[in-house]
Amino acid sequence: LKATFNLMRWIPEVAIRVLNSSPATAYAKVYDGIAQVYVDGDYVTFAIEYERTFKSKSKYDKIWEAIESEKRLNVFLYLVPTLDLVWALIREFEGTKRLVSFGLVNEFKEKVFEAEVWSARYDRLIFKDVLLRAAKLAKA
């Protein structure tokens, strides 16, 4: 993200932990990072999670609840090493009302905003389009 020159703000996990110590600044969960980017004239803030391995159903139930209750963010990007993990995560997040996307970490590193991602509805999208949709929804 930094190399694109579109990254306006980055909050790493350690800073999120500090912010979460106060109800006034807390996020619904501790994300791996939060990025604010400038895309086509709009600022969009999203959470990034890097999922190396699959967790238990009960952990994903808690994560799903946290994301559904999140008040400060509307976009969530899960980056994973394999397509098998993409499909497993999509099944866990099926039915979410939030903009949750899943992509391959290597492709994201290479293409960033042009990387293919999948939604929790199995739609195949370009990540930039997800961000633009979030910006449009924020204006509505």
Give the pLDDT confidence of 75-111 residue by residue, as tens digits: 999 999 999 999 999 999 999 999 999 999 999 999 9
CB 44 within 8 A of CB 68: no
Note the pLDDT of residue 138.
85
Give 137's pLDDT tier (boundaries 50, 70, 90): confident
**Structure tokens that stand for 138 in this block:** 């924020």
Give 45's pLDDT tier (boundaries 50, 70, 90): very high
CB-based burial label for 115 (10 Å; 0-12, 13-18, 19+): buried
Q: Give this prediction's pTM.
A: 0.95
* φ, ψ for residue 30, nearest 5 deg: -90, 110
**Structure tokens that stand for 101 in this block:** 């996307």
> Longest Cα pair distance anywhere in the chain, in angstroms?
40
**pLDDT tops 90 at residue 140:** no
Instruction: State whether the Cα torsion 45-21-32-1 is positive or negative.
Output: positive
Residue type, 41: G
Note the pLDDT of residue 31.
98
Residue type, 58: S
In the block, which residue shows the tokens 């042009």? 114
Give 134's pLDDT tier (boundaries 50, 70, 90): very high
